[in-house]
Every structure is written in structure tokens, then in C-alpha cells.
């Protein structure tokens, strides 16, 4: 059995994991879901990491840290603070040392990749930003309604401005999970980013960006498989 620490992406909270966490806990794993203080202008990625590290201290091993989207930045810093047996990055903003989340978009070429995918798949690349087709296109309607009914978490600027002050990635095993139908981070874009930045091939789930909401069974099964594959 393992301890899973689950981090939400930007504009979200621990409810993002509400479909996955029971599947893990019902199989005997310990699950810690974390609400990151995204609205706090005094808190950046390092303060987030302190919060996560404190919550994960003295937990049963192995410790699996799972981060959705922008919380990949937080997770990388957590791995510098505590011993993590496996880092799982889900549809991630996969950071580079010396980079901030605000710089990530231009550095990685995400906008051009997304635009090219929109054109190829017949969507208007110049359409106004709408979270429904961008994020919830494959989420069951009743789940989408429940999530959207809770309202979006307010985002301060500070988390986007925090530079990851590191020279290299910490020495921790990394797995990257990508959505085949992710409209924000197209699959070919994320596959290349994962190879270039952390030297791994992605594991693909037939989902969009919000994998834990649209395909919780597949994601939970992958996480359990990762535990089985850990050394020892």
C-alpha cells in the first residue's frame, strides 16, 4: 500500500480529485488531497510546497506525489524538501529549472501548439476562451455541472510569478500522464515536452485535460500500476 498526495491545478481545489481518491482509499491506500492557497497574494510556489511537505511528513511509504497541470511546479519543489518515491505529473505544465509558470507558456510554445491542434481538428483558433469546450468537453455533464457549480478558485498573480530556483530536476522517478484529447496541451506537444525536459515517454489516457474528472477509473488504475512497479 502507498500514500498518495494529490495536488489540484490552477483555478481548482481538492474537489478535483473527488472521483479518484475513493478508488485509491477503497483499495487500502492512504490519500491526502491538498487545497493550495491560490488566492493568497502572499503565497507562491515555495509556500505551496511548504504546505504540501508539512502535510505529507511522517506518512507511510511509499509516498506518491500526484500533480495536475500547474501544480507540477509545486510538486517539483516539494521533491526538493521531502523524500518522494514517485512523482506523477498529470496533464502537466512540466517546468524547467529557472522558469516561472508565467514564463512557461511562451518558453514551451504552447500557444502555437494549441492553435495548430485547433485548426487540425476543425475548431476556431480565434474563438473567445470558453472553459466548457476547452476543459469539460469529455467530462460527464452531471460531473461538469457539479464542478462548475462550486465556482472557480480565484487566482492571485504570485503563483505565476514564482521562479523555480533550481539547477536541475531532483533525483526522483517521474511518470507523466497525458490526455489523448487534451485541447489545452495537445498530445504531441506534451510528448515532446516530457522527452525534452524529464526524459520520459508519456502514458496516454483517452481523456481531455481534466483526466481525474473524465476518466477516473483509468487514472486510478494507472496510479495503482505505478505503485506495483516501484522497486521493492
- Summarize pLDDT for 102-153 with one digit per residue, the tens: 999 999 999 999 999 999 999 999 999 999 999 999 999 999 999 999 988 8
Is pLDDT at 225 greater than 90 in this prediction?
A: yes
> Residue for cell digits 525536459?
197
pTM of the model: 0.97
**Residue 56: pLDDT band with limits 50, 70, 90:** confident
75: which 3 cell numbers? 510538486
d(CA 189, CA 117): 10
Confidence of residue 59 (pLDDT cuts 50, 70, 90): confident
pLDDT of 153: 85
How many Å apart are CA 18 and CA 14, to the nearest integer? 7
Residue 61: the pLDDT is 82
What SS3 state is found at 87? Answer: strand
CA 84 – CA 54 distance, rounded (Å): 13
Task: Find the helix packing angle between 71-81 and 45-56, rounded to 10°.
Answer: 60
Q: How far apart are CA 105 and CA 107, in angstroms?
A: 6
Q: Is a pLDDT exceeding 80 seen at residue 228?
A: yes
Per the CB < 8 A criterion, the answer to whether 14 and 206 are in contact is no
Share of the chain above pLDDT 70, in %: 99
| Per-position DSSP letters for 21-42, written without gaps between them | HHHHHTTT-EEEE----TT-TT
Q: What is the mean pLDDT of residues 176-183?
A: 98
Residue 170 CB coordination number (10 Å): 15
Taken in order of first residue, the domains within the chain and their CATH numbers are 3-229 (3.40.50.1820)
Cα(44)–Cα(12) distance, integer angstroms? 16
Q: For residue 187, what is the DSSP state?
A: H
Amino acid at each position: 500500500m502507498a500514500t498518495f498526495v494529490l495536488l489540484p491545478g490552477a483555478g481548482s481545489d481538492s474537489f478535483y480529485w473527488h472521483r479518484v481518491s475513493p478508488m485509491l482509499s477503497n483499495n487500502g491506500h492512504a490519500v491526502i488531497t491538498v487545497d493550495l492557497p491560490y488566492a493568497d497574494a502572499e503565497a507562491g510556489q515555495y509556500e505551496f510546497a511548504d504546505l504540501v511537505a508539512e502535510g505529507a511528513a511522517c506518512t507511510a511509504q511509499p509516498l506518491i506525489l500526484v500533480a495536475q497541470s500547474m501544480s507540477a511546479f509545486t510538486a517539483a519543489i516539494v521533491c526538493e524538501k521531502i523524500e518522494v518515491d514517485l512523482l506523477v505529473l498529470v496533464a502537466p505544465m512540466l517546468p524547467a529549472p529557472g522558469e516561472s509558470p508565467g514564463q512557461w507558456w511562451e518558453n514551451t510554445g504552447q500557444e502555437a501548439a494549441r492553435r495548430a491542434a485547433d485548426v487540425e481538428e476543425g475548431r476556431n483558433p480565434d474563438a473567445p476562451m470558453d472553459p466548457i469546450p476547452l476543459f469539460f468537453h469529455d467530462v460527464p455533464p452531471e460531473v461538469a455541472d457539479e464542478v462548475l457549480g462550486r465556482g472557480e478558485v480565484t487566482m492571485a498573480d504570485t503563483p505565476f510569478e514564482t521562479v523555480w530556483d533550481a539547477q536541475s530536476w531532483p533525483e526522483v522517478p517521474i511518470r507523466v500522464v497525458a490526455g489523448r484529447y487534451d485541447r489545452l496541451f495537445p498530445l504531441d506537444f506534451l510528448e515532446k515536452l516530457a522527452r525534452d525536459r524529464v526524459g520520459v515517454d508519456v502514458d496516454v489516457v483517452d481523456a481531455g485535460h481534466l483526466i481525474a474528472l473524465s476518466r477516473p477509473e483509468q487514472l486510478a488504475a494507472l496510479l495503482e500500476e505505478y505503485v506495483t512497479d516501484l522497486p521493492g
